[in-house]
């Protein structure tokens, strides 16, 4: 899964993948650097994570269901997470003066690559939190977990098991809580 994150006004492209040999382990690639991540504990709004064996507690604050701040230690970091297709869509819509999604505050989950939907783990009305796996997409004979990049309520699921999707297709609409 590719994620584009902006932290304190600096943007990073991160590729995140599951370590096939170790449970609860992930490999994050930032440019030419690989970082080993271990999810130790996850709760709504927080996570204990080991990054290259350095354990830390991270707290997430949200605005309209979107992570907008990460607290680590005594420091606060402005944060904004999205997949590359969301970033491209947001740039295009901004150029044309339009809002994002079904309404200005909805978040769209976009297909990161062409493939076939193998699993749909949500339905309209379900509450989701950041990082929850909502879909399974098969591409090039590999199963890819599509996670929510926001907290909110599922507004619309635009795919079903067996559907074929193309890069950039809207898969799910998520409305912020409240």
Mean pLDDT for each consecutive 10-residue tract of the chain (178 residues)? Answer: 79 82 84 88 85 91 77 88 64 56 64 90 91 88 84 92 90 84
CATH code assigned to 2-81 = 3.30.700.30
DSSP class per residue in 8-37? TTEEEEEEEEE-TTSTTEEEEEETTEEEEE
pLDDT of amino acid 101 = 43
The answer to whether the CB of 150 falls within 8 A of the CB of 45 is no
Tokens describing residue 74? 């005594």
Report how far residue 149's alpha carbon sits from residue 132's, in angstroms, rounded to the nearest whole number: 8
Which tens digit of pLDDT belongs to each residue from 165-175? 988 788 999 88
Position 97 scores a pLDDT of: 54
Task: Name the class of domain 85-175.
Answer: mainly beta
Residue-level pLDDT at 136: 93
Domain ranges of the chain: 2-81, 85-175
Whole-number pLDDT of residue 100: 43
User: Nearest 5 degrees, angle CA 57-CA 59-CA 60?
Assistant: 145
């Amino acid at each position: 899964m590719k994620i584009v994150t902006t932290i304190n006004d600096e943007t990073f492209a991160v590729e995140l993948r599951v370590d096939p040999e170790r449970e609860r382990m992930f490999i994050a690639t930032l440019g030419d650097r690989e970082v080993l991540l271990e999810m130790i504990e996850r709760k709504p709004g927080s996570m204990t994570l080991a990054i290259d064996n350095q354990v830390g507690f991270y707290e997430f604050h949200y605005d309209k269901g979107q992570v907008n701040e990460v607290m680590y230690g005594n420091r606060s970091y402005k944060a904004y997470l999205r997949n590359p297709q969301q970033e491209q869509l947001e740039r295009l819509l901004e150029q044309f003066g339009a809002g994002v999604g079904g309404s200005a505050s909805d978040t769209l989950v976009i297909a990161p690559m062409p493939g076939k939907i193998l699993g749909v783990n949500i339905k309209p009305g379900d509450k989701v939190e950041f990082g929850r796996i909502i879909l399974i997409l098969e591409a090039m004979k590999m199963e890819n977990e599509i996670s929510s990049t926001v907290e909110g309520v599922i507004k619309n699921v635009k795919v079903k098991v067996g559907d074929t999707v193309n890069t950039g297709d809207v898969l799910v609409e998520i409305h912020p809580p409240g």
